Structure 1
């Protein structure tokens, strides 16, 4: 099997994986749910306000209010089943992709990648 065939087979396996399917189903549910869309949009708007406020030297009290509201919105996103399922599905898919990349890297470089369990050699927690 050449590398094109191997990559094609890997792509098919990823597409058929439980992680990809769960993420896609959760994303579809998110797109079809009005409350989930509203929560996501509110969160993004608050993030932008915080970024612009920080950049434009907004009053610290006002920035703190925006930050508090953003944290509350994050809590709502994490507690609402539709958005929680989306975030969990996305995280599961990303974890699978990191594992695949680590395996490929191992076969190319001989390095096992990932975490060796020691903070001394760590490039940062994921």
Structure 2
């Protein structure tokens, strides 16, 4: 696999993925919609040891899901607020890296899985 690297908007935090991701996915759950401000989150799931971080120390926001009761840990840059990764109580051995933060285009490199609690719907327009 060619190296994947990226970081936050201001450049204070950088990362490299050093092995093939577990999966690429798009999620339409309510948390992902609220967190991104869009209809979905596109991300790569990787084992924790596959990520090399450098730069400033990441800040963590803990969110307890109303849907399933488990905690989600949003890892973000303390300067610009860019979400770098999500970690979960359910899968502590892995993290989810946001696709939007990669230097390289990754959208055509992986087969995607679709996971969601519910699909996004635009509703009716008059």
**TM-score, structure 1 normalization:** 0.22
Larger CA Rg, structure 1 vs 2: 1
**TM-score normalised by structure 2 residue count:** 0.22
